[in-house]
A and B are shown apart, each in its own frame.
Chain A
Amino acid sequence: MPTLMIDDRKITVEPGTTVMQAADRLGIFIPRFCYHPGLSAVGSCRMCMVEVEKIPKLQTACTTPVVEGMVVHTYTEQVMDARRSVLEFLLINHPLDCPICDKAGECYLQDDYMEYARYTPRYKETRWKKRKVHILGPTIVMDEERCVLCSRCVRFLQEVTGKQRLGIFERGARSVLSTFPGQTLTDPYCGNIVDLCPVGALTDRTFRFQQRVWMLRRGESICPYCARGCNIAVDYNERSDVQINDRRVYRFRPRFNPKVNGHWICDRGRYAYRFIDDARRLREPMLREGKRLVPSGWERTLKRVARRIREVLDTFGPEGMGLILLPSVTIGTARRVRKLFVDDLGLTRIATGPSIDPEADEDSILLRRDRFPNRGGLVAAGFPDGDPGAVTEGVLRGWATGKIKLLYVIGDDLPRFFEETSSFSIPSAGGILILQRSMEGPEDDFARMLLPSAMTAETAGSFVNFEGEEQTFSAVLPPLEEALPDEEILGRLSLLLGLKGEEACRHENSVEEEQG
């Protein structure tokens, strides 16, 4: 285990560690462009130069492995001079685009210039003009003038996804990054290269020009779109002033977690940010009156739900009611469902949703075919770990044949779920369908009650992913309009059913006032 000194601080690291990694561990920041902890180190940008005692020339921190007794200085006159020169070189052809550049505010070049450079430019020759808007794929656009040729994006596609689609073409000042002829960036992970790019050369066509990054606030959550449960950062604007932009989520970005997703997320999760403020979100509780569903407020709707549940249980017994709990809910919700519907009401026809989406992809990087984030959590909450698909089919058959008079579905269905189980769309004669979820869907036509629930970014809770990793998260935003977290809906419902759970007491007062 070599021990070295960086800026008069001692650290012992494993052999093979680089100076950059050792400095990062000490919290000493060395500026960089081409180095990224998730990719191989190539040492091409020369921004990370440091002084190592007994070596006459400066060394690149990202590619120099540590040795016993090494003494490194990161803030000497010579190092600062090197940084200034590298930046002067990088900025030779770089346009003064910061006011319109999407990366401004989180750009390495901008930050480093302010920190280390501020030189008087000496370059007199004409600058190279390159393409400003070069569309590389459905989601990615390239500005060739801003690229610093760090090759992070090239290495990402090569090393992480294994599909080489990008390369650096031409030579010298004419070098440009581009896709290989005839190819476009359509990989399910290519959104990551936008985060990776240290400058504003690669931008996201859906986020581009929507917001300046300093106007966004960052919250932390878990991606609920597959069994992996990647860690994400939720960037949103919370100014809900009448005249300024309403609260809106603008992007999801990966959050590093070595146990789950490493540095990356897939594009399916990344672009799911749009669902949060989507027009198809359910905004208020609804009751069916005649042919139409009408907004009816929480108290009235839940009282009706409770009354119907009681009626069905009294007339047909627990066999008359079925429940589908999709593993998109948190463990807390699953526990509460178990307590309320299994322990207290004695339901037996409970299913947890089919596990496999036949059209989803699965790969060895992140994507899983099971599109629910919390199957493990349902098992932890006491639901059986059998073949959930068959059980779900059974419940749905019971519903279609009229044995189940009341079907309660909790959780966000994923688009294809109900298509494969066609029996669902046939309403059982006189049956009551209650949907508790976040998005509108074609099944709403058959529902008697709609209970809008909050999305993952709007709730706190925990998920257990397919590898058994339990991850806790808190709410980033308040729920949209009148939506409520699943747990709270169930808490209120159990109270109206006359079953006082401990947490349910929280809502006791408000409910009793309404009743009186």
Chain B
Amino acid sequence: MKKDRISQKRLNFPERLYLAEILRGLWITGKHFFRNFLMHIGRALGVVKKRRGAVTIQYPEECRPIPAGYRARHRLLRREDGSPKCVACMMCPTICPANCIHIRAAESPDPTIEKYPVEFRINLDRCVMCGFCVEACPVDAIRMDTGVVEMSASDREEFVTVLDFLLDSKPAKNPV
């Protein structure tokens, strides 16, 4: 018989006794707890100055840096004159697997642009962050480089980002 591609690691004898493993887990947690505890006290008393107060990241005061290619909340780019770069071609709603982009197009007063979006909404509560919309855009008008990954709201409506909001979103400052 063919071996399963995902096979479980076999436990050795001491592991199978469980008790040792439980103690090992308690030891790891306890070690960090007491270490952070002492370090925080040390920092509060001014004894510890250079080292961090904890081994863990102090979210939400502290955040992990976001890698450059990370797909975060969308933004829309502008042309030099400030108008939306988007030409309302509807490639992004066409490709979007979650069906969460809604665009209403209108005739632009500039005949070389022809078409522009008067309404552009992304339903972030449905978005699966696949980035297909960014890939599909023929004019590089939409990007997911704001670095904003914290999206929470108490109302569904708040998940709907609209044109002006998307245009005013800024790219992340210092992606790593």
Q: Which residue of A lies closest to B113 (CB)?
A: A100
Contact B102–A210 (Cβ < 8 Å): no
Contact B90–A215 (Cβ < 8 Å): yes
Within 8 A of A (CB), among B78-96: 87-91, 93-94
Q: Which stretch, B10-18, B51-59, B104-112, touches the partner chain A?
A: B104-112
Contact B105–A209 (Cβ < 8 Å): yes
Contact A209–B123 (Cβ < 8 Å): no
Contact A100–B160 (Cβ < 8 Å): no
Q: Which residue of B lies closest to A141 (CB)?
A: B107
Q: How far is the CA of A99 from the CA of B112 in the complex (A)?
A: 13
Q: How many of chain B's residues have a CB under 8 angstroms from any CB in A?
A: 23
Nearest chain B CB to A494 CB, angstrom units: 43
Nearest chain A CB to B156 CB, angstrom units: 10
Known A99-B87, A100-B89, A241-B99; judge A132-B121 contact (CB<8 A): no
Q: Which residue of A lies closest to B90 (CB)?
A: A212
Contact A210–B105 (Cβ < 8 Å): yes
**Could you say which interface size class chain A belongs to?**
10 to 19
Nearest chain A CB to B100 CB, angstrom units: 7
CB-defined contacts of A131 to chain B, threshold 8 Å: 111
| Count of CB-CB pairs between chains A and B under 8 Å | 42
CB-defined contacts of A212 to chain B, threshold 8 Å: 89-90, 94
Known A212-B94, A215-B94, A243-B160; judge A100-B123 contact (CB<8 A): no
| B115 proximal to A (CB < 8 A) | yes
Q: What DSSP secondary structure best describes chain A's contact surface?
A: loop
Nearest chain A CB to B144 CB, angstrom units: 19
Nearest chain B CB to A461 CB, angstrom units: 34
CB-defined contacts of A97 to chain B, threshold 8 Å: 114
Contact A244–B99 (Cβ < 8 Å): yes
Contact B94–A100 (Cβ < 8 Å): no
Nearest chain A CB to B40 CB, angstrom units: 47
Q: How far is the CA of A210 from the CA of B119 in the complex (A)?
A: 12
CB-defined contacts of B87 to chain A, threshold 8 Å: 99-100
Nearest chain B CB to A241 CB, angstrom units: 7
Q: How far is the CA of A139 from the CA of B41 in the complex (A)?
A: 78
Nearest chain A CB to B158 CB, angstrom units: 13
Q: How far is the CA of A210 from the CA of B111 in the complex (A)?
A: 17
| B172 proximal to A (CB < 8 A) | no
Q: Which of B's residues lie within 8 Å of A, judged by CB?
A: 87-91, 93-94, 99-100, 102, 105-107, 111-112, 114-115, 121, 123, 126, 138-139, 160
**A/B interface sample: 8 pairs, CB < 8 A:** A97-B114, A132-B111, A132-B112, A133-B111, A212-B89, A212-B94, A243-B123, A244-B93
Q: What are the 3 A-B residue pairs with the smallest beta carbon separation, nearest first?
A: A99-B89, A209-B105, A132-B111
